[in-house]
A = this chain, B = another copy of it.
Amino acid sequence: MASFTLDERLENDSIAMASLGLCQVRLMNDARWPWIILVPQRDGMSELHDLSPLDQTMLTFELGMAGKALKDATGCLKLNIGALGNHVRQLHMHVIARNEGDEAWPGPVWGVGTRTPYDKEDARSLIASILAKL
C-alpha cells in the first residue's frame, strides 16, 4: 500500500477502532452521539472523485458495512453520512447515529456545541459493541 499519514486533527479528535481494506475506522471522541469516521488510507485525497473507481467502490462498501454495524449496535433511528472537509481537507466520511431529541436533532451535528470526550471504559465498550456487528 502507498504511504499514508493520518491528519493530525483527525488523530487527536478520534480513537482507532479497526483497519478495513481501504479505510481506517475511528470513533469520534464525542460522547454526545455514537459517531465514527472512515478515512481512506490514501495520501492527497480531498474529494470522493479524487479516489480511483476501485477505491470509490471499496469506500462505499466499507461505508455501508460500518453504517449498518453502527445502526445495529446502537439501535438508532437514522444514520447521517457526510463528507465535508471544510476544516480538515484529508478525505474522511462521517457516520453518525441519530435519534429524535438528541443534542442537535433534527439538524446536523457538525459545529454544534462542544465535544464531550468519552470516559475511557465507555469508549472501549461502545467500540467493542460496534466491532461485534461489523
Question: Which A residues are within 8 Å of any B CB, using their own CB?
Answer: 46-49, 51, 53, 56-57, 59-61, 63-65, 67-68, 71, 78-87, 89, 98, 105-108, 110-111
Q: Please report whether the interface of chain A is mostly helix, strand, loop or mixed according to DSSP.
A: mixed
Assembly of this chain: how many copies?
2
B-chain residues with CB within 8 Å of residue A107 when the two chains form the complex: 86, 110-111
Min CB–CB distance A1 → chain B (angstroms): 21
B-chain residues with CB within 8 Å of residue A49 when the two chains form the complex: 64-65, 67-68, 71
CA distance A65 to B107 in the complex (A): 27
Which 9 interchain pairs have the tightest Cβ spacing?
A86-B106, A49-B64, A82-B82, A60-B60, A107-B111, A49-B68, A81-B83, A108-B108, A80-B84
Query: Residue on B with the closest CB to A86?
Result: B106
A106 contact from B48, B59, B68, B87, Cβ within 8 A:
B87
Min CB–CB distance A73 → chain B (angstroms): 13
